[in-house]
Structure 1
Amino acid sequence: MTPVVFDLDGTLIDSAPDIHAAVNATLRSVDAPTLSLDRVRMFIGGGVDVLWRKIVADLNIDPVARADLVAAFMTRYHTATGLTALYPGVAEALGALADAGHPLGLCTNKPMIPTRANLAHFGLGSVFSVIVAGDSLPQRKPAPEPLWAAVAALAGGDRTQALYVGDSEFDAACAASAGVPLLLFTRGYRQRPVAELPHAAAFDAFDRLPALVSSLAALPP
């Protein structure tokens, strides 16, 4: 069966409210201006370092302070799950794919500790055979290496026999450079029009995903 690898933030979970709360708590601790949820959502996808590079630039904070801000943020972020929600239909879609025999993996720029905390919070800790997080490798998406690592663990490295499910520019660029077809979830954290992102198929509801995977898996590589 075709392995299916998933992104996490903006694809399986809407974690922006928790990230927003942790960001603003960190900013308030140093008497810096806070940001709106929509603004923080725009900065999500590239991992914690990219998030804070964008925040520091947006608020004209001295870049020298970034490392301390990241450290303070991580103390809040490690276990932040209270405001995060699964997108509708995610649990059912994952169950249907697993029942059909598809090996499932995760490839995210989120660090491993908060990744596992969120999976445990939603009872998904045992769903994924492999997890490649933002601190698992020296590279992060959009570099292809994290997705290659997930596919190698699930499919022995045969990229033509895997699918990637993601929501953002980072996911589209990663999938394209990795040579893995992308199924684009259109209700995540994407900033550009769907038509501008390379993808094999797009969907806006997870009840469509199992049939979409089946149809793409049946196509010749």
Structure 2
Amino acid sequence: MRDALNLVFDLDGTLIHSAPQIHDAANKVFLAKGLPGFPYETVRGFIGNGVGVLVRRLLAHQGLPPEGPLHAELVAGFISIYEEAFDLTTLYPGVTDALVALSAAGHRLAICTNKPQGPTHAVLRHFGLDRFFPIVIGGDSLPQRKPDPAPLRAALSGLQPAPALFIGDSEVDAQTAQAAGVPLALFTQGYRTAAPESLGAKLVFDDFAALPRLIGHLAARFRVQDAPIA
């Protein structure tokens, strides 16, 4: 299809609202070690760079060494709790309908997230989204994680050559897109803290119901010579 794009999606804060689940898992593992829990906003503010970085930031927030055996134990405990926990996670409104429409329009879809592969595949299956994403790059798929461009490039390498767009919600996603030379579509209801206009997005949206139309307009304007090719 002439105007089909390669669309790579972030996961947490973009397709799923998982901060309450992450907050719950973090508190459980810290409390199990006899350490204090955290307010929701503290944990939410540390999301975006993967589980290892999240736990390091939480340890440092409590004045504890951010590396070492305790860090490793907390990461392992977090993943074991989080991998099959979905009761506090929700899809953002309109996500499934948008993915159906984008797939029907011929766009090719992939996931690039800093969430580990196990929890990523589990949550995609839980919400019935796995059918849309033949390519899934998680935070432990490669030695590098976002904002390094390698995971995004790996996701795109599994798709057919076409102009590409990265759909994300955060500063990490903006940095990843810029490093990979791929335009960013910014979902404004996620976990960023910076002003949307500061992130250099090609497209900004706050409602998934509008995304297929916006991408359709963008695809019609894209040309091979002025869009990144993967």
Shift of 1:195: 1.6
Give secondary structure in 2 for the equivalent of 1:184: strand
Check if 1:99 corresponds to 2:101. no
Residue pairs, 1:113-152, within 5 angstroms:
113-152=118-157
Aligned equivalents of 2:80, 2:126: Cα separation in 1: 18
Aligned equivalents of 1:102, 1:195: Cα separation in 2: 26
Query: Which of these residues, 13, 18, 22, is aligned with residue 19 of structure 1?
Result: 22
Check if 1:186 corresponds to 2:188. yes
Aligned equivalents of 2:200, 2:159: Cα separation in 1: 23
Is the Cα–Cα contact under 8 Å of residues 81 and 117 in structure 1 kept in the other structure? no
Q: Which amino acid aligns with 1:43?
A: F
Q: Which runs of 5+ in 1 are unaligned?
A: none
Normalised by the length of structure 1, the TM-score is 0.96
Q: Which runs of 5+ in 2 are unaligned?
A: none
Instruction: Give the total of aligned pairs.
Output: 218
Residue 73 of structure 2 corresponds to which residue in structure 1? 68
Aligned equivalents of 1:100, 1:106: Cα separation in 2: 18
Give secondary structure in 1 for the equivalent of 2:166: strand
How big is the alpha-carbon RMSD for the aligned residues of Structure 1 and Structure 2? 1.0
Aligned equivalents of 1:120, 1:153: Cα separation in 2: 20
Residue 163 of structure 1 corresponds to which residue in structure 2? 165
Is the Cα–Cα contact under 8 Å of residues 183 and 199 in structure 1 kept in the other structure? yes
Shift of 1:126: 1.3
Give secondary structure in 1 for the equivalent of 2:106: coil
Normalised by the length of structure 2, the TM-score is 0.92
Check if 1:176 corresponds to 2:181. no
Give secondary structure in 1 for the equivalent of 2:130: coil
Shift of 1:124: 1.1
For residues 39-90 of structure 1, give each alpha carbon's deviation from its aligned partner in whole angstroms, at most 9, with x where no partner exists.
1111111001110111011111233321111112111111121110000000
Give secondary structure in 2 for the equivalent of 1:164: strand
- Runs (4 or more) in structure 1 with deviation over 3 Å come to none
Higher alpha-carbon deviation: 99-108 or 73-82 = 73-82
Check if 1:59 corresponds to 2:62. yes
